[in-house]
Structure 1
Amino acid sequence: MRLNKSMKKHKKISAITCLLLTLVVTIIVLYPFVWVLSTALKNNTELFVFPPKMIPDQAVWRNFIDAWRLIDFPRSFFNSFMVSVPTALLTVVVCSMAAYAMTRMKFKYATAVFMIYLSTMMIPMVVRLIPSFILVKNMGLMNTYLGLILPLTAWSVPFGTFLIRQFFLVLPKELNEAAYVDGASHFQIFIRIILPNTVPGMITLGTYVFLQSWNNLLWPLVALNKESMYPVTLAMASLTGPSVEFIPPWNQVMAATLISILPILILYLLLQKYFIQSVALSGVKG
């Protein structure tokens, strides 16, 4: 009897501790977003008040109208979509085919090839910039969407292959064997059996790559010098810095920041259920 009470008390303490830790982490994660929203709604006089105010005396929604005029948001959004969407789709296609070959097709040194794939993830992005820049320049792809898409896709393939491979390992190989008996080819098995059963993984990888491409600043900074080709990240970066002659008020900059993250926030809210499904499925088998 005492043992049961002790176990119940221990579980209760553990649950409360986990709840408190979750609450602390949530506050830490959300605080910057709340502060950005607070700054975006302040007037110019409240920006540098000490001690700072979290809640402005009066919300200035006009800051968002002024922020929309700071940069060409429609063009920047279009550029970001023209890079992020093809990058996500191309990465999913390449990674799914590579993962199928590594999990369903028997060939020599399959494990070694997979380890080489994983080893490329340890190469820092900064190290890849110079050879990628040389390749893109020699191919005549500077200031083009393709010049942005191809390197971003190549950098996403190792992790994407690893992720999709985990989903393919969950599926029983008896499905392949039954399809072989019926005379199906590898392509038919891949299209009709494997892909329909790994849709959450595909959407998860596509969403992840889309977000990574949308938020990427370093590669567009290297590969672009035409302002009409700037994605949202580069357009936002052009608002501030030592080379900028006029820096807008910080309330307008924060409002522009909120506008810039709105598309990816909506996308994540729409597709977050697939992230949860992918965690559950990919953790079944290693």
Structure 2
Amino acid sequence: MSRGVLITVAVLNLMPLIYLIGISFRAPQLVFVNPLFPLTVPLSFENYRAVLSQMDILRYLLNSIAFSGSVTVGQLLLAIPAAFSFTYFSFRFKNILLGLVILSLVVPFVVTYIPNYLLLAKWRLINTILGLVLPMLGISLGFGIFLLRQHFMGFPREIIEAAMIDGANSWDILWRVVLPANLSPVVAVGIYVMINTWNQFIWPLLVGGGHPRSYTLTVAVQIFYTSPEGSDYWGAIMAASVLASLPTVIVFLLMRRKVLESFVEGALRG
């Protein structure tokens, strides 16, 4: 009974994806033919050719890579030392600060849109990749700090003490001892941040939607949907959506086991 429920739920969750892919490979005149059977034969690549000819996919792809990659690297550079400090150092208000870090997870990013936008406008960073990246460095940072801290707490302290006896300082212990032994959770956090950033839409539209040179793929798909070329061209819209989603799907499928194992292990240690 439970297996049947799981299969039913899985199919229901996959149906939008199946229709997305199926319609993207349909000829434009067949989009609304046989709506109960999204996959048709033979496959047509006309929608993809239309998207590649009407959208600057390469520029938008590079913008998305720069955006998500910069946020991912920036968050890891902030989360790793912070998690290490909360694990191995004792300082005043440590528990209070850790509580505030975790509490930050319940604050929606949307409530910071207006102050962040006004600040970026003052710094003349609207319609720039840097303007997109800076405010995003704090989004879900508390999650990364907490998860890495849970893994760091399970690292044998005897090894830390042995490294200190050998003369290693805090940075040496972090980058040469603790971090190499905890690459799996670090990679998992990086993938989580990358996918979350890649899928952002409102923030890139608000800050980078004023000029095509700063469009990310998610924004470019929306602009294409509202343009005269794509307003009634449903197959091309589906094809553009597939191209925008494909990189994150590939990354997750390749690394899903490492991500799930790290999240579960971190939860058990907590």
TM over 0.5: yes
> Offset at 1:140?
2.2
Question: 2:112 maps to which residue?
Answer: 128
Quick one: structure 1 residues 170 and 28, their matched pair in 2 at CA, closer, same or farther if it must change by over 3 Å?
Answer: farther
Counterpart residue identity of residue 233, structure 1: T
How far apart in 2 are the matches of 1:277 and 1:174? 25
Which moves more between the two structures, 58-67 or 224-233? 58-67
| Larger gyration radius, structure 1 or structure 2 | 1
Q: Deviations over 1:141-185 (max 9, x none)?
A: 212211111111121312211121121122122322222222221
Quick one: structure 1 residues 265 and 51, their matched pair in 2 at CA, closer, same or farther if it must change by over 3 Å?
Answer: closer
2:208 equivalent to 1:226 = no
Q: Deviations over 1:76-111 (max 9, x none)?
A: 001011111111111111001110111111112111
Question: 1:8 maps to which residue?
Answer: none
2:7 equivalent to 1:23 = yes
How far apart in 2 are the matches of 1:274 and 1:142? 36
TM-score normalised by structure 2 residue count: 0.92
Question: 1:53 maps to which residue?
Answer: 37
How far apart in 1 are the matches of 2:39 and 2:268? 46
2:158 equivalent to 1:158 = no
- Counting aligned pairs with the same residue, the percent is 27
Q: 220, 232, 240: which one pairs with 1:235?
A: 220
> Offset at 1:280?
4.5
Which moves more between the two structures, 275-284 or 186-195? 275-284
Q: Any stretches of 5+ residues in structure 1 without a counterpart?
A: 1-16
Quick one: structure 1 residues 277 and 55, their matched pair in 2 at CA, closer, same or farther if it must change by over 3 Å?
Answer: closer
Question: 2:87 maps to which residue?
Answer: 103
Which moves more between the two structures, 275-284 or 111-120? 275-284
> Offset at 1:51?
5.3
Counterpart residue identity of residue 26, structure 1: A
Question: 1:215 maps to which residue?
Answer: 199
Matched length: 268
Q: Deviations over 1:105-139 (max 9, x none)?
A: 11121110011111111111210111111221222
TM-score normalised by structure 1 residue count: 0.87
2:54 equivalent to 1:70 = yes
> Offset at 1:235?
0.3
Q: 228, 237, 255: which one pairs with 2:239?
A: 255
> Offset at 1:50?
6.2
How far apart in 2 are the matches of 1:111 and 1:273? 32
Question: 2:177 maps to which residue?
Answer: 193
How far apart in 1 are the matches of 2:255 and 2:37? 35
How far apart in 2 are the matches of 1:232 and 1:124? 23
Question: 2:26 maps to which residue?
Answer: 42
8 Å CA contact 1:239, 1:248 repeated in 2: no
Question: 2:121 maps to which residue?
Answer: 137
Q: Any stretches of 5+ residues in structure 2 without a counterpart?
A: none
Counterpart residue identity of residue 54, structure 1: P
2:154 equivalent to 1:170 = yes
8 Å CA contact 1:170, 1:282 repeated in 2: no
How far apart in 1 are the matches of 2:252 and 2:238? 21
8 Å CA contact 2:71, 2:136 repeated in 1: yes
Counterpart residue identity of residue 207, structure 1: I
Which moves more between the two structures, 108-117 or 52-61? 52-61
Question: 2:267 maps to which residue?
Answer: 283
Quick one: structure 1 residues 284 and 178, their matched pair in 2 at CA, closer, same or farther if it must change by over 3 Å?
Answer: farther
2:255 equivalent to 1:271 = yes
Secondary structure of the structure 2 residue equivalent to 1:69 = helix
How far apart in 1 are the matches of 2:162 and 2:6? 46
Counterpart residue identity of residue 61, structure 2: F
